[in-house]
Amino acid sequence: MIVLGSTSEVAQAFVEEALRKGERFEKIYLLTSNKETAERFARHIDVKFLQQAEVIEFDLMKEIDYVRFEKINSSLLFCAVGYLGEGTEEGLYDNKNTERIIDINYSKLIPVMNYFAQRFESRRSGTLIGLSSVAGDRGRQSNFIYGSAKAAFTAYLSGLRNYLFDKKVHVMTVKPGFMATKMTEGLPLNPKLTATPKQAAASIFKAYKKQRNVAYVLPVWAIIMMIIRNIPEFIFKKLKL
């Protein structure tokens, strides 16, 4: 199993959920820019599940040495790479904030996804799971920089799924709504619309086993976003969302 963004609470919860449900891997590759935290998690799953893991340090914001990835052999990739950054009101005209949001959520991430997608294609098997966001379903004034990057990532996963279908490789898009993680700490989240990492992991694993194409972590978000997507533009542009 390959985990991109392996210090994400959701990514780690998914790994544990998979192992709890009886999945076993020759090795779990934890790719991260935070080596120390990933190594603690690797030791944790080794002790708790007797599952071997290897930490591979890489930083999307630096030049990536793909030679280091050649030894990786897996049929499952879980991508939890993401960066929320400042909201539109605080960070709209901050170019560094804008560039970092776009780079981490999309432009620097896609070449890495492509590298592993090609490996899966050549083997003609496997599943790639990408965490996008409901924020990408329609641009809203509160976070449209982040939302635009996630919309691009969602479109990428959709096209990749179409391209890899006849190559026997499945691509699943996950659209979490609010999640109680370090990335959202301090935000006023509605608890009825917010999933814990453990809840999210259970939902994602179930969708993975059913080979879903698109999965909302909490089903209510599918309804909410359907409504938001269908509000006429002449009304929507006046709303404070």
CA distance 219 to 203: 10
What pLDDT, on a 0 to 100 scale, did the predictor assign at position 179?
Answer: 82
Locate 40 and state its tokens.
């603690």
What pLDDT, on a 0 to 100 scale, did the predictor assign at position 241?
Answer: 86
What pLDDT, on a 0 to 100 scale, did the predictor assign at position 178?
Answer: 86
Low-confidence ranges of the chain (pLDDT < 50): none
Q: Is 61 exposed, middle or buried (0-12, 13-18, 19+ CB in 10 A)?
A: exposed
Domains in the chain, start-ordered, CATH in brackets? 2-236 (3.40.50.720)
CA distance 215 to 49: 27
In three state form, how does the secondary structure of 81-134 look? CCCCCCCHHHHCCCHHHHHHHHHHHHHCHHHHHHHHHHHHHHHCCCEEEEECCH
Kindly give, in sequence order, each residue whose CB lies less than 8 Å from that of residue 172, ignoring residues fewer than 6 positions away.
127, 128, 129, 130, 157, 161, 207, 208, 211, 212, 213, 214, 215
Question: DSSP code of 210?
Answer: T
What pLDDT, on a 0 to 100 scale, did the predictor assign at position 183?
Answer: 66
- Name the phi and psi angles at 226, rounded to 5: -65, -40
Do the strands 194-195 and 178-179 form a parallel or antiparallel pair, or are they unpaired? Answer: parallel
pTM for this one?
0.94
What pLDDT, on a 0 to 100 scale, did the predictor assign at position 181?
Answer: 76
| 3-state DSSP helix/strand/coil % of the chain, to nearest 5 | 50, 15, 35
CA 186 from centroid of its chain's CA atoms: 21
**Residue 60, SS3 per DSSP:** coil
Cα–Cα distances in angstroms (integers) from residue 57 to residues 29, 51, 66, 149, 204, in the given order? 10, 19, 12, 24, 25
What pLDDT, on a 0 to 100 scale, did the predictor assign at position 89?
Answer: 83
pLDDT, tens only, 82-101: 999 988 888 889 999 999 99
